[in-house]
């Protein structure tokens, strides 16, 4: 810290005085750009909210951060970049390497928060939102609860030990883009406890553990060589894993934080009565458009979000998608002005200081599409609204999967083997290809594929996107 160049913002508290009060699972770039940034802000007010960061599988975060004492730089990109050192992470563990240290933290009375960013698939849920008891990782964790590998497995075993030690519960916050993330995380923990023969623990969890819902937002492109070089220059030191995001950052949490509420609010977290309204707006207006932009943009030969947004036809389509298709399904709540929200997100997508790769957003489509596009489609159908524009992103995803397979490029998706098999059956005929994808019940469920307006819209978009003039798909 003493060797840092001027102009870099540093922690405004004495790190030596801080103590771990938070266990975070999944300290990827998003956590380090978002929740760790907020906890860093809180530490001056409450030094007992430092983080113990736990990676569930890979040792890369520990290997990078431990030698630098958990410190790393965060570059906030806008016309002028702001660079700060985040001091909130005091300990980094890789769960399979140090399981006892993870449990020691979970039964530490000073720990009162567990947070998680493990991506949609990390919650191991079935399409209906229940814990997927057929997943091999869940089956294994249920059979050997003391050596977990999944998030829910760690949490429930940690809670069992907490209870056995005579301690109270804690607050667990799932910070991923799932709709109803708090409720789903809560349900999965209770279901895990029951399925492992611990009904009394499930009951205890229900009474003792809070699972507030949350909406998290900060566009966080993966770290790259440009960032590494820039950070080294600004810091005057090398940072093994610098992080970057846009300047904008938002965290809304259900107003159920009890004693912690004031500290969170003082750090800029919004405590909301109706967090679902914020969550819904963000998942649809931002994430639903993001996924559409990713698959359509890649089809048109673009690499990044801001590059795709510089295409007036594509940007116009995305704006209509937001305003005409996503906005009507949102719930009104104080603090959410939908029209201003749309304008703000369009401006964020256009931010030229951010190079957010479309390929990064295209990952895990099978997990993202149901929440971001298929749910809005089901609701639009039920309300008698058109689904032409909403279907374009879904059709573009199908073609993306087919192109990856044809080019022998990898598909980053938990359903990759199934998706590859479906893509190999596709020959370019819209009706047949769309039908082949719609058979994947884990994504589309049993009902939606039967709806003729949806199928027709998908086939039309698929035909246009697959032809020589893919831009025709942007006409609606
Ligand atoms: C993106 C999100 O990669 C994706 O799927 O849509 O990571 C998005 O950038 C964040 O949710 C923004 O908060």
Ligand 1 contacts CB of residue 287 (under 6 A): yes
Average pLDDT over residues 215-219: 98
> What are the tens digits of pLDDT across the range 74-88?
999 999 999 999 999
> What are the tens digits of pLDDT across the range 360-387?
999 999 999 999 999 999 999 999 999 9
Ligand 1 contacts CB of residue 361 (under 6 A): yes
| Measured CA angle at 156 (ends 153, 158), to 5 deg | 100
**Within 13 Å and on the Cβ side, how many CA atoms surround 352?**
3
Ligand 1 centre to CA of 203 (Å) is: 34
Percentage with pLDDT > 70 across the chain: 100
Ligand 1 centre to CA of 247 (Å) is: 15
Ligand 1 contacts CB of residue 218 (under 6 A): yes
> What are the tens digits of pLDDT across the range 404-433?
999 999 999 999 999 999 999 999 999 999
For the cut 90, the answer to whether the pLDDT of residue 39 exceeds it is yes
Ligand 1 contacts CB of residue 119 (under 6 A): no
Ligand 1 centre to CA of 219 (Å) is: 6
> What are the tens digits of pLDDT across the range 152-210?
999 999 999 999 999 999 999 999 999 999 999 999 999 999 999 999 999 999 999 99
* Through-space distance between the first and last CA atoms of the chain, rounded to whole angstroms: 55
Task: Note whether 272 and 254 are within 8 A (CB).
Answer: yes
pTM higher than 0.95: yes
> What are the tens digits of pLDDT across the range 98-126?
999 999 999 999 999 999 999 999 999 99
Angstrom distance (rounded) from CA 125 to CA 221 = 26
Task: Note whether 124 and 116 are within 8 A (CB).
Answer: no
Angstrom distance (rounded) from CA 255 to CA 1 = 36
Task: Using the CB atoms, write b or e for 184-219: b if 16+ within 10 Å.
Answer: bbbbbbbbbbbbbebeebbebbeeebbbbbbbbbbb
Ligand 1 contacts CB of residue 173 (under 6 A): no
Average pLDDT of the chain to the nearest whole number: 97
Ligand 1 contacts CB of residue 219 (under 6 A): yes
> What are the tens digits of pLDDT across the range 282-333?
999 999 999 999 999 999 999 999 999 999 999 999 999 999 999 999 999 9
Phi, psi of 447 (to 5 degrees): -90, -50
Average pLDDT over residues 232-245: 97
For the cut 90, the answer to whether the pLDDT of residue 148 exceeds it is yes
Q: Report the pLDDT value the prediction gives residue 127, as an integer from 0 to 100.
A: 86
Ligand 1 centre to CA of 57 (Å) is: 22
């Amino acid at each position: 810290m003493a060797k840092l160049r001027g102009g870099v913002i540093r922690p405004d508290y004495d790190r030596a005085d801080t103590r771990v009060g938070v266990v975070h699972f999944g300290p990827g770039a998003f956590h380090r750009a978002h929740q760790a940034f907020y906890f860093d802000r809180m530490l001056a007010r409450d030094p007992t909210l430092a983080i113990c960061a736990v990676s569930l599988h890979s040792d890369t975060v520990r290997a990078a951060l431990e030698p630098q004492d958990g410190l790393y730089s965060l570059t906030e990109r806008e016309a002028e970049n702001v660079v700060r050192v985040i001091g909130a992470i005091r300990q980094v563990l890789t769960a399979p390497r140090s399981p006892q240290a993870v449990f020691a933290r979970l039964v530490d009375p000073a720990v009162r928060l567990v947070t998680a960013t493990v991506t949609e698939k990390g919650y191991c849920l079935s399409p209906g939102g229940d814990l997927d008891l057929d997943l091999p990782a869940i089956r294994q964790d249920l059979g050997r609860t003391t050596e977990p590998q999944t998030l829910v497995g760690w949490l429930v075993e940690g809670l069992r030990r907490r209870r056995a030690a005579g301690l109270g519960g804690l607050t667990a916050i799932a910070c991923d883009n799932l709709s109803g993330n708090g409720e789903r995380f809560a349900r999965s923990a209770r279901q895990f406890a029951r399925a492992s023969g611990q009904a009394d623990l499930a009951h205890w969890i229900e009474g003792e553990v809070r699972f507030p819902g949350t909406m998290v937002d900060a566009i966080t492109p993966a770290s790259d060589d440009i960032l590494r070089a820039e950070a080294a220059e600004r810091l005057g030191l090398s940072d093994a894993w610098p992080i970057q995001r846009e300047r904008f950052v938002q965290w809304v949490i259900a107003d159920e934080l009890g004693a912690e509420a004031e500290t969170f609010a003082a750090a800029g977290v919004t405590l909301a009565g109706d967090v679902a309204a914020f969550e819904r707006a963000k998942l649809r207006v931002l994430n639903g458009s993001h996924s559409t932009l990713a698959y359509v943009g890649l089809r048109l030969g673009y690499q990044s979000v801001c590059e795709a947004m510089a295409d007036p036809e594509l940007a116009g389509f995305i704006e209509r998608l937001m305003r005409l298709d996503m906005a009507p399904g949102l719930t009104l709540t104080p603090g959410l002005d939908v029209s201003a929200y749309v304008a703000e997100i369009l401006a964020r997508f256009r931010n030229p200081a951010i190079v957010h790769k479309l390929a990064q957003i295209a990952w895990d489509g099978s997990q993202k599409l149901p929440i971001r596009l298929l749910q809005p489609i089901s609701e639009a159908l039920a309300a008698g609204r058109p689904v032409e524009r909403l279907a374009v992103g879904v059709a573009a995803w199908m073609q993306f999967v087919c192109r990856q397979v044809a080019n022998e490029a990898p598909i980053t998706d938990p359903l990759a083997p199934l998706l590859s098999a479906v893509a190999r059956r596709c020959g370019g005929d819209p009706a047949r290809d769309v039908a082949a994808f719609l058979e994947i019940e884990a994504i589309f469920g049993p009902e939606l594929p039967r709806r003729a307006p949806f199928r027709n819209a998908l086939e039309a978009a698929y035909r246009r996107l697959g032809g020589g003039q893919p831009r025709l798909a942007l006409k609606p």
